[in-house]
Structure 1
Amino acid sequence: MSKKKTHVTNKQNTSTTQKAMQGAAILTLAAFIAKILSAIYRVPLQNLVGNTGFYVYQQVYPIYGIGMTFALNGLPSFIGKQVALAPDAYSQKRVMQRYSVIVSIFAAICFAIVYFGAGQIATMMGDALLAPVVQSVSYMFLLMPILLLSRGYLQGLNDMVPTAISQVVEQLVRVAVILTVAYLFAQTQLDGLHPNVYTMGFWAMQSAWVAAAAASVVMVYYWLKAREKNMYQDFLAGHYGLEQASTGGKNYPGHAWGHLTKAFVTEGFVICFFSALLVFYQLVDAFTVYDQLVANGMPDDLAKNVKGIYDRGQPIVQLGMVVATALATSFLPTLAKTKQFDLKGSQHFEAVARQYLRVTLVFSIIITGGLVAIMPQLNHFLFASREGSGVLMVYVLMVVMASYVLAQNNVLQAMNRWYVPGIAFVIGMVVKMILTPILVTVWSTMGAAWATNIGLLVMVVYLEGHLPMSLRLHTWTKAILSASALAVVMVVVTAILAYLWHGVLGMAATRFLDTVLMAVQIFAGVLTAWVFLRKVPILTQEEWLALPKGDLIWRVMQGSTLSR
């Protein structure tokens, strides 16, 4: 091969890599925005519809959450990978044609199970009145093929912008519909009427297919636009050469029905299950907690109220895990790049992976400590009462385990060991399903929270055993102990402030005064963390600089030492 041709090939590879990294960053940023929207809207929703109304919504939400993961995060990225691996135009066309059949059959099965099985699903949840609410979610599965295939196809061409835009549009439309329904429900109550919370839930869940339709419009627009610009041929010309593209790939085994179906139900499903990890745990709670509370003798209305209070933990955990998502935004493109293109072999990859795992664990411990420290005040500020604060303190412990499990999964996925997280998922789910009814019988919703944490802990232990020795927890014991000590110090400082506020100053526990106290506690907690981290540097300068705005944080951490 001539030097000129080699130079052109290298330049094309560099351009492709850069585009892939930019695309990954855009997609993760969109997921970050969507996660924030998904967490925040639940607060006004609960405030408008109350604990029982929130219970109705949260019981059915996991079904929507799983469907959204199939159509948004998991399967599109899987299909995009299959498109990118196909060697030529003929093979890519065959892959898309056959996956359109597979996906359509899968979507039809999902629709049929949810629509026709709504009554049975509601009965299994212990509340037959939920049937119409469950049924209202089913229509979104009919739009799954359009969303899944268009997103997957364009991602396979390294064009992540349409998926990112459609994801944000989908969340905005869904949140707008839900909050409109909740507002009308609240207004009807103010007018002296007694609207049905199940009717509210039915209309709120119509947001699923309305949002999916809005996202479909966006994706169809970009799909047609891509065809008009002939991006398909541009991709082939840039990556493989037109000569190779024109030869056809009739001997390529990757578009065989058996190969595609097997990959879809193994690797594709594993990606989906891990993307919706916490949603599946919520689904177990939906089928178990309320039903078990009633079986233990709790009155129906009280059980719905208690389950609604328990569900307050979900948006708080989502907000706590925003940092884990932000860390993934920073590290995942680098992980993928070093694993695939680094000529130094595994050492550089393991160095990046070590940073990613360590930083994720340290920050998740500190954030969890902060959430536990201010939970009574945060609960009152967000949801208008302190009910269930003790349960929520245990519930948010999953921020540590879930963040670290997802980080372990991302490292193993980068190592192409997708089957290991799949086994871990099954083990964790089995533990959660076995323990939840047992512990709910003993400790009510506190038991459900512990069941989730134990299930996630078992996953951490299993995944730990499949990571390289240099990436295991024992290599940063000092960092774990230091971060845990900081978390404990923050809890003690905020508890002292709460005692002084109420016990010495005699401040009442109103929503407004609790909000003021929470603001003081947050300031004290940040100040405590700053002083602690200056005295006990848990993270290195290199690790700080790897974070978003890490250089700014590092300068603030150093304070007066900067001038030295």
Structure 2
Amino acid sequence: MSTTDWNMKTFMKGASILTISAIIVKLLAAVYRIPFQNLVGDKGFYIYQQVYPFIGIFIVWTSYGFAVAVSKLLAGSASEGESKAVKRIAFIYLTGLSVSFFILLMVFAPNFANAMGDLELVSLLRAGAYIVLVMPMLAVLKGSFQSEGRMTPVAVSNVGEQAIRVAIILIGTWIAIRAGASLYTAGEMAMWGAVIGQAAGVVILALYYRNAFKGPSVKIATWRIVKELTVVSLSVSASSLILLLFQMADSFTVYNILLAEGFMSNTAMEMKGVYDRGQPLVQMGILIASTLALAIVPLIAHHAAKREWRGAEPFISLTFRTAFLFGWAAAVGLALVLPYVNEMLFETRDGSVTLIIFSFQIFWLSLILPLTAMLQGAGKVKIPTMLLMVGLAVKIVANQLLVPILDVTGAAVAGNIGFAVIACGLLVYFKKVLPVKLAPARFYGWLFVATAGMVAVIIPWLLLADQVLFDQLSSRIGATVSALTAVGLGAGVFLLIVMKSRIMAEKEWYLLPFGKRLARVQLMLTKNRR
């Protein structure tokens, strides 16, 4: 394969395959929590969400961050022997980390559970610990494929492991609940589903690639490889880890503070479970932003490598405007229909005010993910990572101050404050590093008009739906019809105004995943003005 073919055809085809698989994986990751919550209720959901960040952080760090780091080192290898050496060092290093983390979770599970205020979580932590043992092989195999430009096996593995994981979690939980098992047993079943899913991912990759470690290798500086693997993996996965780290901060603080404020144990668990309903909603809301980071950022990195910043400017501006546009629309739109969405997905409208506040995290994360990825593309990783840690510290402190006053609503406010600090810090740093005009003033003006149009349509429609539908249909079906029709109307009006204003050019829609249809609609709407 020629260098030109690799740089253009293979790279873009591979990026497209990975983007599509990432969308499927992220959708599955968000959506399965809804039937899971319906099966186990708010208390069962609390149990699962308390423990998931422990394994989620290690999954993201190794299967995503380390895979990218391994890929980068292999791509820079001078010979086949050096590549073999890099793989061996990466595998041994990751194995050491995995075994250490496994022992840590196994031995100190009672300490972690005690720190979270619930000793019955020990069995879930220990079940989840097994997932780290499959990570070394998964990371090295993914990195090997990515370094060769073979993205199909990685995509198949990603989708396969997530689909198997979701199936086992839901089927296993259903069987456990039907058998009369406790909610903690159901939660433990969900942890085993994650373990088996990741193991399936390794099996899929191994079937594609059977000689990862065969052949002679050469001697290279082990410490240099270990250092680069650590630094690159952490910096690359930092923005993906931040949502999980915020969840972990909640695991250690929210339930304990509620108990300290005098709430009974069961009540506090259910309150935390209701608050955790916000997680899948946010994950679905940031789908466009995370897709953007995967799809457009490689183009920016390509120009950055050649120091062609003028060539990269249109992509930078497009990425920012699209993330801002859809992040804001998703956050405001979800906030408007949230009581109905809450009942549609989770059976009740409990905690709707808390979840309305929670949903605005979509906007901040929609800025954070692409900005961090673009800065990484420009080789800037230290300051963004530091800003993410500052935001996490702010979240922890804000939890301590606000949860005693506002209960779980305080945790939702604290999350917004933490993410806002990160987003604003990233914007300031971005403008300093890359003095690019991100969006003209008319962009924000028309965004305000489009938002006002969306609000003006959704609120009267929901008031009308309340009068008409709920007399004719059951409460949950009525909420479903109200929510879906309101979302359709609101999104239609919002996009109509955006397209008529042409704050996104037709050629820009074409660059976005699935943007061709929107470009054609905009051309029809604006043909008389051209």
TM norm structure 2? 0.93
Residues 306-455 of structure 1: matches in 2 within 5 Å? 306-341=271-306, 345-455=308-418
Q: 2:478 aligns with which of 495, 501, 513?
A: 513
Distance 1:113 1:225 in 2: 32
Q: Deviations over 1:85-106 (max 9, x none)?
A: 1111222222222222211111
Cα deviation 1:224-271 (Å, max 9, x = unaligned): 16789xxx9xxxxxxxxxxxxx9x976xxxx41221222233222122
Residue 278 of structure 1, CA deviation = 0.8
Tell me, yes or no, if structure 1 residue 223 matches structure 2 residue 209. Answer: yes
Q: Could you tell me whether the CA contact under 8 Å between 1:373 and 1:490 is conserved in 2?
A: no
Instruction: Please give the alpha-carbon distance, in whole angstroms, between the structure 1 residues aligned to 2:506 and 2:495.
Output: 15
Identity %: 30
- The question of whether the paired residues in 2 share the 8 Å contact of 1:369 and 1:488 is answered with no
The equivalent of 1:15 in structure 2 is 5
Distance in 2 between residues matched to 1:396 and 1:473, nearest whole Å: 28
Say how many residue pairs are matched: 526
Gap change, CA 1:336 and 1:22, over 3 Å in 2: farther
Query: Which 10-residue stretch deviates more, 24-33 or 442-451?
Result: 24-33
Instruction: Note the 1:55-66 alignment, pairs <5 A.
Output: 55-66=46-57
Paired residue for 1:460, among 402, 417, 423? 423
Contact 1:72–1:167 under 8 Å retained in 2: no
Q: Cα–Cα, structure 1 residues 462 and 561, in superposed 2: closer, same or farther, change >3 Å?
A: closer
Match of 1:153 among 140, 144, 160: 144
Relative to structure 1, the CA distance from residue 560 to residue 521 in structure 2 (aligned partners, 3 Å threshold; closer, same or farther) is same
Query: In 1, Cα distance between the equivalents of 2:437 and 2:178?
Result: 52
Report the 3-state secondary structure (helix = DSSP H, G, I; strand = E; otherwise coil) of the residue aligned with 1:467. Answer: helix
Give the C-alpha shift of residue 446 in structure 1: 1.1
Moved more, 219-228 or 74-83: 219-228
DSSP-derived class of the 1:417 partner:
coil
User: Which residue does 1:214 correspond to in 2?
Assistant: 200
SS for the counterpart of 1:117 is helix
Shift in Å at residue 488 of structure 1?
Answer: 4.0
* Superposition deviation, residue 151 in structure 1: 1.4
Partner of 1:184: 175
Q: Render the CA deviation track for 1:419-468: whole Å, top value 9, x for unaligned.
A: 22211121111111111121111111111111111111111122222224
AA aligned opposite 2:323: T
- Per the alignment, residue 490 of structure 1 pairs with 454
Instruction: Name the SS of the counterpart of 1:549 in structure 2.
Output: coil
Distance change (3 Å), C-alpha of 1:517 and 1:473: farther
2:489 is matched by which residue type in structure 1?
Answer: A
Contact 2:239 2:368 in 1 (8 A): no
Residue aligning to 1:6: none
Residue range with higher mean Cα deviation, 505-514 or 322-331: 505-514
| Residue 260 of structure 2 corresponds to residue 295 of structure 1 | yes
Separation in structure 1 between the aligned mates of residue 392 and residue 480 of structure 2, nearest angstrom: 37
Could you tell me which of 497, 508, 512 is aligned with 1:543?
Answer: 508
Q: 2:249 aligns with which of 280, 284, 294?
A: 284
- After superposition, the CA RMSD in angstroms is 2.4
Of residues 502-511 and 143-152 in structure 1, the stretch that sits farther from structure 2 once superposed is 502-511
Q: Give CA-to-partner distance per residue, 1:263-318, whole Å, 9 cap, x none.
A: 23322212222222211111111111111111111111011111111111111111
In the other structure, the counterpart of 1:46 is: 37
Structure 1 residues 186-236: Cα deviation after superposition (integer angstroms, max 9, x where no partner): 424xxxx5x3111111122111221122111112222216789xxx9xxxx
Cα 1:60–1:477 change in 2 (3 A) is farther
Which of 137, 159, 172 is equivalent to 1:168? 159
Shift of 1:560: 5.3
Letter of the 2:7 partner, please give it. Answer: T
Residues 458-504 of structure 1: CA distance to partner in whole angstroms, max 9, x if unpaired?
Answer: 11122222224565687444423432442343234322222233358
Extract structure 1 runs of 4+ deviating beyond 6 A.
225-228
1:143 aligns with 2:137: no
Query: Mean Cα displacement is larger for which, 154-163 or 281-290?
Result: 154-163
C-alpha offsets along residues 123-178 of structure 1, whole Å, 9 cap, x if unaligned?
A: 11111111111111000111111111111222222222222111111101110111
| Pick aligned residue for 2:190 from 190, 196, 204 | 204
Residue deviations 1:324-375, cap 9 Å, x none?
2332343123223333357xx2111122112111111111111212111111
SS in 1 for 2:284: helix
Partner of 2:66: 75
Which residue does 1:236 correspond to in 2? none
1:481 and 1:451, CA in 2 relative to 1: closer, same or farther beyond 3 A?
farther
List alignment gaps of at least 5 residues for structure 1.
1-10, 233-245
Q: Is the 8 A contact 1:29 1:329 kept in 2?
A: no
User: Contact 2:25–2:162 at 8 Å: present in 1 too?
Assistant: yes
Alpha-carbon distance between aligned partners in 1 of 2:502 and 2:403, rounded to the nearest angstrom? 41
| 1:500 maps onto 2:464 in alignment | yes
Partner of 1:240: none
Q: Is the 8 A contact 2:14 2:151 kept in 1?
A: yes
Change (3 A) 1:179 1:505: closer
TM-score when scaled to structure 1?
0.88
Residue 400 of structure 1: how far off its partner (Å): 1.0
Mapped contact 1:401–1:453 kept (Cα < 8 A): yes
Deviations 1:31-54 (A, max 9, x none): 211000111111111111111111
Using the TM superposition, name which of 538-547 and 42-51 deviates more: 538-547
Judge conservation of contact 2:48–2:187 (CA < 8 Å) in 1: yes
Question: Is 1:115–1:135's contact at 8 Å kept on the other side of the alignment?
Answer: yes
Partner amino acid for 1:274?
S
In the aligned structure 2, how far is the partner of 1:401 from the partner of 1:509?
A: 36
Conserved in 1, the CA contact under 8 Å of 2:500 and 2:526? no
The match for 2:122 among 111, 116, 131 is: 131
Number of the residue aligned with 2:26: 35
Residue number among 73, 92, 110 corresponding to 2:101 in the alignment:
110
Give secondary structure in 2 for the equivalent of 1:206: helix
